Structure formats: structure tokens, C-alpha cells
């Protein structure tokens, strides 16, 4: 994904996704670092809603001065604007507090060691009526104004900025409503005449912050030692180890009576290494780990072993032949299958895409029809915080519109049942199911959280390779492809461009029908169209695998998880990956001029970063 917080490297995925986003509504996924408000994973379910008469003046028992400033200014704003010719029927304030610690290491030293505290606000306003308001058919940023808020607890200073943002958004919302009414009068009748905003029960919930202790000095030493391990590999041309520690608190108040305080903590560790083949192809390996606190991350010995594996993979990839275009049997590992389903299926099940007439609407009229093989089911469940010992990045208790997260059964036994809904209704689906998500500064849309694929037609993992060989022989092909690891993918859902997807694997092997040893290849991308690809799944493994990442789409970047077993496809199409032709470095890295051994370089690195 085009995210700039990880490292100087961006990769071909970032370039291609950015180009597509300039052309159409492309969505994309990668395992990366990014600054965003992390959803809450604490607290009980909300209490009952207040009465209509007390919606604006409702208060929660709290001494939080920021929340008090928000509630006071919200009451004042809606009272004053209520006397205007076009009064808002909905107004909400969301304030995000974010405290970050960022440690970035390279080759035994720290490139970045900083702590950041920031606070910003979204003012969301709807003018008109829930049936037709200023957000109708507008861009995803219509209806919201954002700005930086003062740090600290000065209620007057906070209220002053909220006042300015409210005034700014009202002056945008009223002309936008007039444009909507004009467009509606002169344009052809829309196929989906659903309202613009759903009626939901107000929620009240105040979570208690409990950040885990963080030994910054100890982690600085570990980041140095881990990054130093890359110094003994001369073919690793760029490497970094990044730790992001996040303590967040999201406060939301609305004129409906919702009051939410959702604190959370998380740690995310990303290890990245890159090399370049002689033909100029950049090759990347990334390992990511995420947990609520330090105790959930792997130990240093396990991380060091991962680094050794990354370096070995890159060395093998440099020597591997470039794959040729292929169409035939393929086996996707669980992680690869998870990304495949996120891109190919998940984005096309997001609610707003069924209503937007610029979207391809692949599944809009297929409710009640079979869209997958009968042995497959799909749910999106943000209420699950951990699966098989792995923390899920897409977990949250309330979405960004204040609606409780729900488990949504989107496909049952191959049959489409539901969509991932925000508070934008669509035909036959009038309510939110807690999937309205956004990056601050953008309007929420229906988005994925934890997309989980299950299967009733499974075989043990150890038998999946043989199943691939059997299918290769059945089709008379010389080989099949096994996709072991993946770095991300993207998809296009607009009808203005071909309905297509691209999944970007890293470790790909030719599996020969005649029993030859599997052969590693490079420079291959999975491509295709969604309806055809989803019908070619023959069977799955019995074990679920997790891909945690950051997904970018119209409403911004949000954390997600995709979970799936390994999958055997009767047919999968791949193409050659585009790449640059810049030569590898002309000089050997420092310490290797005279053929110095990797062991010597590694020993020197360890000596220099002793704690």
C-alpha cells in the first residue's frame, strides 16, 4: 500500500496501486505500518439509549475535560444552527488522541527514535433529511471537516477549534445540499432510492485506558541487535526493523445521544529486507508482528531466526528464474488465500458499492444465489480479537459511526446472504451492521474488519501438495504453481475500468508432475476477474491462517485481517511482473571488499551493539 511510514522503500505495489487510484476506485492491502486511530478492544457492550428529549444534553459520568468540551460545544452548535434556514439534522464530533513511539533500526543503529503526541478532530454534519442530504452522491469527504486540536485539557481552546471546524463544515454542507437537490431534479431516476442515512440506536460507552508498560531503552537495544543481523548478508541492499507503539483514545459525541470513549494500545513490528536481481528486478521480504503489548510479540531469538530466513529467501530469489505467464492448477497457502479473498470477494461485498452507480456491482443482485462453491462460507467478525493464538488487526467494538461491531454472515454454504453495511442504506438492507469505517478526515463507508473464510471440504495440510500434483496430471500440464507467501494485492471495483484484481506473491514454486524438485521462480503476479476466479476452488486445507494488514480504499486506510485455509484452484492465471532495470550496486557493501566472510561481519555487528 502507498504508506510512507514504514521505510524509504515503497515497492512496485505502491506505485501501481497509486496509479490505479488516480484512475478509479481501487482498493489495496499490504502488511505495513501506518499512523491511524486503532480501534478499541476493551469494555462491555453499550447500555440503553437516552430518550429523544435528552439526546443532546446526555452526559456520561466522567471527569474527562476533553469530552466535556466536546459535549458543551455540540449542544451550543446544534442550538444556534437549529434556528437557521437549513438546520443540521445530525452533527457529531470525533476527537482522536494518538501517542506514538517509533523506533527504526538499520544495520545496528537507530535511524529514527521519536515520540509523537497529536490530537485531531472530525466534525461530521448532515443537512437536509435522512432521505436526502448533503452527502448524497458526493465524494467520500463530503460531510466532514477535520483539523488539529490543542493538546492538554484547556476546554476553551478545544471548544474554539471545534467551533471553527463546525462553521467551516456548515458553510460547505448547505451549498452541497442545494447541488444535490438540483442534480436529483435534473438527472434520470436512480435505481436504488434508499435514504442517505440510517436510523440507529444511540450508544453510550466509556472504556478505561490501561496502557501496558513499555521499556523503551530495552527495545532500542533489541532493534539495534535485530537490524545488525542483516549486516552479514552482502546481497541484502536495504534492510530495516521498525517498531511502532501506539496508545490511542477516540472520543465521539453526537446529537443522537451517542457518547463513546474507546482507548486502545498496540505494538507493531515490521522487518523488511530488499535485494535486486541482475536483471534489475527488486525483490522484497517483509515479516510483520502485531500485539496489544510487548508480551505478545515474539522473542528476540525467534525474530533473529526470521531474519535469517528472510535473507536466505532473498538469496534464493536473486538466483531464481523469472516465471512465464501461466494458466493452470495452483495451490495458495492460507495467507495467500486470505489476501485473495480480501481483494477478490471482500471489497465487492462492501455495502456502498451496491448502491454507487459508478461501481461494478458484481454481487448487488445475487443475494440468495450461489456465488461460491457450496463448501465455503464467509463471515466478517470484528468482535473476534484473536484466532489460533494470533491477534487480529481488524478487531473493534464500535465502528467509526458509533455502531456496535457485529458478526456478519455474508456467505453461507456458498450462498450470498448479506453485505458489510455502514449507515448508508441500500436496497433491502436499511440498517448498519457495524462496518462503517474510515481514516480520520474521510466519511465512513462499509469496510471489512476480520474477513474469515471457512470450509467443510478439507484435507490435511500435508496432503494439499499431492492434491495439486494430481490436478496437474489430470489436466496434462507439466507443472502447477504453489504460492507460499504474499506481500499484498489490489483490486478495481469501478465499472469504468475492467473488473479485475492483482495479488502480489513473494515466494512462488513450480511443482512438477513428473516428481522433479519444486523450483522457486520470481516476478509473477496473480491476475484475473472475480466471478471466474471464485468458481475454480476445488478443496481447502484444514488449518486457518491469518494475514494482518492495512487496507486502503475510498474512506482511507484501516487495519484489517483476512483469515483462510490453503486452497487448491483448478485454474489460476498469472502474468509477469513489471520491474525496473537498474543494476545492482556496483560496489560491494562495506566489510566485503576483500571477500570478508559473513561470519566475520556478523561478529563485528554483534560486538558493536552489545547492550
The CATH code of the domain that includes 223 is 3.30.2290.10
Position 495 pLDDT exceeds 80: no
Residues 27 and 552: beta-carbon distance below 8 Å: yes
Task: Look at residue 609 and tell me if it is in a domain.
Answer: no
Distances (CA, A) of 32 to 39, 53, 332: 17, 46, 21
More confident of the two residues 503 and 370:
370
Last residue of a domain, one of 290, 319, 348: 319
Per-residue pLDDT, averaged over 99-123, amounts to: 95
> 240, 107 in Cβ contact below 8 A?
no
Helix, strand, coil fractions of the chain, as percent rounded to 5? 25, 35, 40
Give yes or no for residue 38 having a pLDDT over 90.
no
Q: Flag whether 606 is in a domain.
A: no
Per-residue confidence at 611, pLDDT binned at 50, 70, 90?
A: very low
Question: Among 263, 502, 546, 506, which Cα is nearest to 391's?
Answer: 546
Q: For residue 6, is it within any domain?
A: no
Mark whether 275 and 207 lie in a shared domain: yes
pLDDT of residue 198: 96
Q: Where are the alpha helices (DSSP H) in 258-346?
A: 300-319, 334-344
My answer on whether 287 and 349 are in the same domain is no
CB contact at 8 A, 87 and 81: yes
Residue 417 belongs to some domain of the structure: yes
Mean pLDDT of the chain: 86
Determine the Cα–Cα distance for residues 545 and 556; give it in Å rounded to an integer: 26
Q: 215 with 313, same domain?
A: yes
Rg of the chain (C-alpha set): 25
- Same domain for 339 and 406, yes or no, is yes
How far is 503 from 480, CA to CA, in rounded Å? Answer: 17
Residues 6 or more apart whose Cβ sits within 8 Å of residue 423: 197, 198, 200, 401, 403, 432, 436, 444
Q: Average the pLDDT over 60-85 and give the result.
A: 90
Q: What pLDDT shows up at residue 49?
A: 35
In which residue are the cell numbers 471440504 written? 457
Grid coordinates of 44: 462491555
Please give the C-alpha separations between residue 494 and each of 161, 341, 438, in angstroms, as whole numbers: 37, 18, 19
Judge if 313 and 332 occupy the same domain: no
Average pLDDT in the 266-287 region? 94
360 burial (CB, 10 Å; 0-12 / 13-18 / 19+) is buried
In angstroms, what CA-CA distances link 610 with 215, 239, 305? 17, 20, 19
For residue 500, pLDDT beyond 90: no
Same-domain status, 301 and 387: no
In a domain, 53, yes or no: yes
Nearest to 250 by CA among 421, 45, 434, 42: 42
pLDDT tens digit sequence for 133-170 = 999 976 556 799 999 999 999 999 999 999 999 999 99
Distances (CA, A) of 459 to 343, 376, 466, 467, 470: 25, 14, 11, 9, 14
Both 451 and 484 in one domain: the answer is yes
HEC letters along 43-61: CCCCCCCCCHHHCCCCCCC
- Least trusted range by pLDDT, from 207-216, 274-283, 313-322, 416-425: 207-216
Percent of the chain with pLDDT over 90: 69
Other beta carbons within 10 angstroms of residue 46's beta carbon come to 20
> Could you tell me if residue 302 is inside a domain?
yes
Per-residue confidence band for 40, with pLDDT thresholds at 50, 70 and 90: very low
Residue 532, domain member (yes or no)? yes
Per-residue cell: 151: 493538546
CA distance 372 to 417: 12
- Per-residue confidence band for 2, with pLDDT thresholds at 50, 70 and 90: very low
More confident residue, 497 or 47: 497
Residue-range definition of the domain harbouring residue 174: 24-30+40-319
More confident residue, 55 or 569: 569
In angstroms, the CA 469 to CA 45 distance is 49
Torsion from C-alpha of 322, 328, 333, 335, nearest 10 degrees: 80
Angle made by CA atoms 144, 253, 170, in degrees to the nearest 5: 35
Q: Does residue 247 register a pLDDT over 70?
A: yes
Which whole number is the average pLDDT over 173-197? Answer: 90
Least Cα distance to 437 among 417, 420, 418 occurs for 420
Q: Who's near 141: CB < 8 A, 6+ residues apart?
A: 441, 442, 443
For the cut 60, the answer to whether the pLDDT of residue 5 exceeds it is no
162 & 297 share domain: yes
Distance CA 529, CA 457 (A): 24
What is the mean predicted confidence (pLDDT) over 438-446?
92
Angle at 404 between CA 398 and CA 406, to 5 degrees: 110
DSSP 429: B
Out of 319, 347, 375, pick the residue that ends a domain: 319
**By the 8 A CB rule, do 37 and 98 touch?**
yes
Number of structural domains the chain divides into: 2
- What burial letters (b/e) apply to 494-515, b meaning 16+ CB within 10 Å? bbeeebbbbbbbbbbbbbbbee
Q: Do residues 291 and 333 both lie within one domain?
A: no
If one counts every other C-beta atom within 10 angstroms of the C-beta of residue 87, the result is 14
The predicted model scores a pTM of 0.87
Phi-psi region of 161 (alpha: psi -120 to 50; beta: other; left: phi over 0): alpha
Q: Are residues 557 and 532 in the same domain?
A: yes
- pLDDT value at residue 544: 94
pLDDT confidence of residue 59: 44
- Give the list of residues 6+ apart from residue 531 with CB closer than 8 angstroms, or none: 362
Here the cell at position 589 is 557493501
Give the end of a domain, one of 276, 304, 319.
Answer: 319
Q: Are residue 363 and residue 244 in the same domain, yes or no? A: no
Rounded Cα–Cα distance for residues 562 and 338 (Å):
5
Distance of CA 401 to the CA centre of its chain: 18
The reply to whether 47 falls in a domain is: yes
339 and 301 in a single domain? The answer is no
Amino acid at each position: 500500500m502507498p504508506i510512507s511510514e514504514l521505510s524509504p522503500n515503497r515497492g512496485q505495489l505502491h506505485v501501481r496501486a497509486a496509479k490505479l487510484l488516480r484512475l478509479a476506485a481501487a482498493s489495496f492491502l499490504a502488511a505495513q505500518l501506518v499512523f491511524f486511530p486503532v480501534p478499541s478492544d476493551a469494555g462491555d457492550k453499550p447500555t440503553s439509549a437516552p430518550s429523544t428529549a435528552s439526546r443532546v444534553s446526555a452526559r456520561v459520568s466522567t471527569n474527562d475535560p476533553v469530552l466535556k468540551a466536546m459535549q458543551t460545544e455540540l449542544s451550543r452548535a446544534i442550538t444556534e444552527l437549529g434556528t437557521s434556514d437549513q438546520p443540521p439534522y445530525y452533527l457529531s464530533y470525533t476527537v482522536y488522541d494518538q501517542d506514538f513511539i517509533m523506533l527504526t533500526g538499520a544495520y545496528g543503529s537507530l535511524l529514527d527514535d521519536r515520540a509523537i503526541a497529536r490530537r485531531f478532530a472530525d466534525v461530521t454534519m448532515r443537512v437536509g433529511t435522512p432521505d436526502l442530504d448533503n452527502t448524497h452522491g458526493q465524494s467520500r469527504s463530503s460531510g466532514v471537516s477535520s483539523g488539529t486540536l490543542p493538546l492538554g485539557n484547556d476546554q476553551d481552546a478545544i471548544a474554539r477549534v471545534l467551533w471553527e471546524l463546525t462553521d467551516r463544515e456548515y458553510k460547505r454542507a448547505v451549498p452541497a445540499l442545494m447541488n444535490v437537490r438540483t442534480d436529483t431534479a435534473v438527472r434520470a431516476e436512480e435505481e436504488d432510492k434508499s435514504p442517505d442515512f440510517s436510523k440507529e440506536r444511540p450508544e453510550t460507552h466509556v472504556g478505561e485506558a490501561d496502557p501496558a508498560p513499555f521499556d523503551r531503552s530495552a527495545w532500542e537495544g533489541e532493534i539495534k541487535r535485530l537490524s545488525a543481523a542483516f549486516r552479514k548478508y552482502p546481497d541484502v541492499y536495504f534492510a530495516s526493523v521498525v517498531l511502532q507503539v501506539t496508545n490511542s483514545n477516540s472520543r465521539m459525541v453526537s446529537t443522537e445521544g451517542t457518547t463513546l470513549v474507546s482507548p486502545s494500545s498496540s505494538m507493531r513490528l515490521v522487518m523488511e529486507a530488499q535485494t535486486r536481481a541482475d536483471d534489475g528486478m527488486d525483490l522484497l521480504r517483509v515479516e510483520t508482528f502485531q500485539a496489544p503489548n510487548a508480551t505478545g510479540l515474539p522473542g528476540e531469538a525467534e525474530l533473529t531466526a526470521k531474519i535469517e530466513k528472510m535473507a536466505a529467501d532473498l538469496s534464493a530469489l536473486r538466483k531464481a528464474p523469472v516465471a512465464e505467464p501461466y494458466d493452470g492448477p495452483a495451490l495458495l497457502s492460507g495467507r495467500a488465500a486470505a489476501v485473495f479473498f480480501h481483494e477478490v470477494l471482500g471489497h465487492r461485498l462492501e455495502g456502498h458499492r451496491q448502491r454507487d452507480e459508478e461501481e461494478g456491482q458484481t454481487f448487488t443482485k445475487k443475494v440468495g444465489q450461489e456465488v461460491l462453491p457450496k463448501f465455503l462460507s464467509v463471515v466478517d467478525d470484528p468482535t473476534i480479537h484473536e484466532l489460533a493464538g494470533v491477534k487480529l488487526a481488524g478487531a473493534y467494538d464500535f465502528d467509526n459511526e458509533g455502531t456496535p461491531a457485529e458478526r456478519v454472515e455474508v456467505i453461507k454454504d456458498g450462498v450470498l446472504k448479506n453485505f458489510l453495511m455502514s449507515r448508508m442504506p441500500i436496497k433491502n438492507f436499511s440498517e448498519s451492521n457495524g462496518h462503517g469505517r474510515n481514516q480520520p478526515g474521510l466519511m465512513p463507508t462499509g469496510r471489512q474488519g476480520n474477513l474469515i473464510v471457512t470450509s467443510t471440504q478439507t484435507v490435511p495440510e500435508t496432503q494439499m501438495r499431492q492434491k495439486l500434483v494430481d490436478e496437474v496430471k489430470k489436466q496434462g500440464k507439466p507443472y502447477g504453481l504453489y504460492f507460499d507467501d504474499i506481500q499484498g494485492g489490489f483490486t478495481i471495483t469501478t465499472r469504468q475500468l475492467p473488473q479485475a484484481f492483482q495479488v502480489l506473491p513473494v515466494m512462488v514454486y513450480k511443482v512438477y508432475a513428473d516428481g522433479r524438485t519444486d523450483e522457486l521462480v520470481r516476478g509473477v503476479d496473480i491476475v484475473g476477474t472475480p466471478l471466474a476466479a471464485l468458481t475454480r476452488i476445488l478443496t481447502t486445507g484444514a488449518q486457518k491462517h491469518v494475514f494482518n494488514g492495512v487496507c486502503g480504499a475510498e474512506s482511507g486506510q484501516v487495519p484489517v485481517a483476512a483469515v483462510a485455509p490453503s486452497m487448491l484452484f483448478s485454474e489460476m492465471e498469472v502474468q509477469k511482473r513489471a520491474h525496473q532495470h537498474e543494476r545492482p550496486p556496483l560496489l560491494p557493501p562495506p566489510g566485503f571488499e576483500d571477500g570478508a566472510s559473513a561470519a566475520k561481519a556478523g561478529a563485528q555487528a554483534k560486538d558493536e551493539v552489545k547492550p
